[in-house]
Amino acid sequence: MHEVAIFTAVSCLSPVSIHSTIPAVARSAITEGTHLHYLTHIEDKATYASKLREVYTELFPDEELQYSHLQSKAEKEYVQGSMGKNGQGARAPLTCVEAMVASRAKMEENLLARAAAQAHQQIAEIVLVLDGPSFYFFEEEDEASKYHMLAITKSCRAVVACRLTPSQKAQLVHLVKTESFPKILTLAIGDGANDVPMIQEADVGVGIFGKEGHQAANNSDFAIAEFRFLRRLLLVHGRACYLGLANVCLYCLHKNMVITFTIFWFTFLAGVSGTSPYESWMYTGFNFVLGLPIIFHGILDRDLSQEFCLKFPQSYQTSRDNKVLSILNMLSWFANGLAYAFMISALSYLALYDSYKEYPLYDMGTTVFTSLVLALQGKVIFMSSQWGVPQVLSMAISVGTMYGYFVGTSYLTYVYYEKVVPLYNTGAYWFFSLLSVPVVTVVLVDLLWHSFSLVFAPSAEMLMREIEENTVYSKATGG
C-alpha cells in the first residue's frame, strides 16, 4: 500500500470555517489512510491549533493531542541565543538532538510508548501539535534528528505545525518526501506566497486563489477556489485521471504486443524468413486507426459516479495503492495480450488455413489485420463503463477511417496495387474479419476472464461498481 502525506497551510481558512471545512476533508483523507500535516506561519495564527484541536476532538474523541512547544522563558531565550537575532547565529554546545530530547523527553517517551502499544496498527491514535520555535531543534543535516522527527510524526494520526517559516514548511515536506521508507507521496496546498516553497517541494502542489494573491496558484500543479474543493479534486478528479492514464498506457502496450506476436508466429509458417503478412503502409497505420477510441476512453470514461466516490472515500484506494499499474495487474495484461495474439493467430493461421491457401500474401494479411484491429476495438468496448455520443463517434470514425486507409494504401505500392477494392467485394473477407475472428477472440479471452474474476476473485473496483449498480437499481424500482 502506498502512503500519502498531505501538507496544508491553514491560513487559507478562517477560524470559523475550520469547523465547517476541515471535518469533511480530514475524515475522508484519514479514511483513505493518509497522514495529515497542517502548517501555519504567523504567530497570532497559533489560534488555529486550538481550533484544529477542537475539530479533531470532535472527529476522534478517543484520541490524544500531544503538543511540542517551548513552555518556559529559559527555553525561548535558549533558542533565541543559539539562533541569533536573524536565526543564523552560532549553535549552542548541545546538539539539536540532545536539546530536543532533553526538553521534550517526556513527550517523546509518551508518543513512542503509545505507538509501541498500538504496533499492530499503522498509525497511532495521536495528533501532534508542533510549533515553530520547537522546529529550530530539528537539524536537516543530522541523520539522528531526521530519524527522531520521522519516528514521531509517522506514529501520529495527524500533525499540526504552527508558526513555521516558509523554509521550515519546505523542510518538513522535503523530509517526509525523501527520507520516508517506503516512499510517501506528498501533496502540499496553500494560498499565499509564503506557501510557494512548500508547494514546489511536494510531489503534487495545489494552490488556492485567496486574498493573499495568486502566487500559490501560479506555482502549483492544480489550482482551486476553496479548500473544500480538495476533497472532490482527490476523490473524483484524481481517481478518474489516474484510471484514465493507467488504462491508456496499458492498452497501448497491449495492442503493440498483440500485433508483434501475430507477426512472430507467422514467421514459423513462412520458413522463419522474416516475411510479414502485413503490407508496410498498412502496418504503419496500426496506431493511427486505433488511436481515437482509447483517447476518448481515457478522457471520458468513468467507472463510478461522482456521488459514489464522494460518499465512499475508500474508492480512492484504487489510485492511492496504484492497483491498476501494480506488478500483478500488469502481468495480467501481459497474459491477456498473449491470449489475444494466440487466439487471432490460431484462428487465422491454423483454423482458416485451407481458406487462405489460395489467397495472395497481402490479401490474407489484410484480412488478418482487419480482424486484429476490430478485436482490439472490441477490447476498448469491453473496457468502457459508459458510452456517450463522443465515444460512439470516435469508434465509428476510427473504423471507417481504417477501411478508407486500406483503399488509399493500395495505390501506393506496386505489389499491393488495387488489391483492396476487389477484396472488399468478397464475402469471405467480411465474414473472417468482422464476424468470426474478432467476436470469438473477445468472447473467449475477455468475457470468460472477466466472468471468472467476477465470480471467484472479484477486485475492489468490481465490488464497488456492483454496489453502486444495485443501489441505483433499488432506488429506481423502489426496493
Boundaries of every domain in the chain: 3-227, 235-477
Confidence of residue 79 (pLDDT cuts 50, 70, 90): very low
Write down the pLDDT at residue 71.
44
- Contact between residue 369 and residue 278 where contact means Cβ atoms under 8 Å apart: yes
Write down the pLDDT at residue 10.
57
Cell 465474414 sits at which residue? Answer: 431
Q: In this model, does residue 82 exceed pLDDT 80?
A: no
Q: Which residue has the higher pLDDT, 129 or 307?
A: 307
In this structure, of 62-66, 207-211, 439-443, the range with the lowest mean pLDDT score is: 62-66
Write down the pLDDT at residue 271.
85
Mean residue pLDDT across the chain: 79
Cell 499499474 sits at which residue? Answer: 325
Q: In this model, does residue 316 exceed pLDDT 80?
A: yes
- Residues 393-403 have a mean pLDDT of 95
- Exposed / middle / buried, residue 230 (Cβ in 10 Å: 0-12, 13-18, 19+): buried
- Residues 415-434 have a mean pLDDT of 90
Q: In this model, does residue 74 exceed pLDDT 50?
A: no
Write down the pLDDT at residue 151.
81
Write down the pLDDT at residue 176.
87
Cell 488478418 sits at which residue? Answer: 368
Write down the pLDDT at residue 232.
92
Write down the pLDDT at residue 298.
95
Q: How many CB atoms lie within 10 A of CB 209?
A: 16
Confidence of residue 178 (pLDDT cuts 50, 70, 90): confident
Directed axis angle between helix 327-345 and helix 239-266, to 10°?
40
Which segment, 98-102, 121-125, 205-209, is predicted with the most confidence on average?
205-209
- Residues 41-49 have a mean pLDDT of 48
Write down the pLDDT at residue 17.
54
Write down the pLDDT at residue 168.
86
Phi first, then psi, for residue 256 (nearest 5°) are: -70, -30
Q: In this model, does residue 179 exceed pLDDT 70?
A: yes
Rounded distance between C-alpha atoms, residue 217 and residue 223, angstroms: 5
Q: Which residue has the higher pLDDT, 232 or 17?
A: 232
Write down the pLDDT at residue 100.
44
Q: Which residue has the higher pLDDT, 16 or 384?
A: 384
Write down the pLDDT at residue 2.
56
Q: How many CB atoms lie within 10 A of CB 270?
A: 13
Q: Which residue has the higher pLDDT, 116 or 202?
A: 202
pLDDT, tens digit (0-9, with 9 covering 90-100), for 121-158 = 555 567 777 777 777 777 777 788 788 788 877 777 77
Write down the pLDDT at residue 319.
87
In this structure, of 26-35, 178-187, 266-275, 322-331, the range with the lowest mean pLDDT score is: 26-35
Q: Which residue has the higher pLDDT, 133 or 405?
A: 405
Which of 3.40.50.720, 1.10.760.10, 3.40.630.10, 3.40.50.1000 would CATH assign to domain 3-227?
A: 3.40.50.1000
- Contact between residue 317 and residue 461 where contact means Cβ atoms under 8 Å apart: no
Write down the pLDDT at residue 83.
42
What does the H/E/C string look like for the chain?
CCEEEEEEEHHHCCHHHHHHHHHHHHHHHHHCCCEEEEECCCHHHHHHHHHHHHHHHHHCCCCEEEEECCCCHHHHHHHHHHHCCCCCCCCCCCCHHHHHHHHHHHHHHHHHHHHHHCCCCCCCCEEEEEEHHHHCCCCCCCHHHHHHHHHHHCCCCEEEEECCCHHHHHHHHHHHHHHCCCCEEEEEEECCHHHHHHHHHCCEEEEECECCECHHHHCCCEEECCCCHHHHHHHHHHHHHHHHHHHHHHHHHHHHHHHHHHHHHHCCCCCCCCCCCCCHHHHHCHHHHHHHHHHHHHHHCCCCCHHHHHHCHHHHHHHHCCCCCCHHHHHHHHHHHHHHHHHHHHHHHHHCHHHHCCCCHHHHHHHHHHHHHHHHHHHHHHHCCCCCHHHHHHHHHHHHHHHHHHHHHCCCCCCCCCCHHHHHCCHHHHHHHHHHHHHHHHHHHHHHHHHHHHHHCCCHHHHHHHHHHHHHHHHHHCC
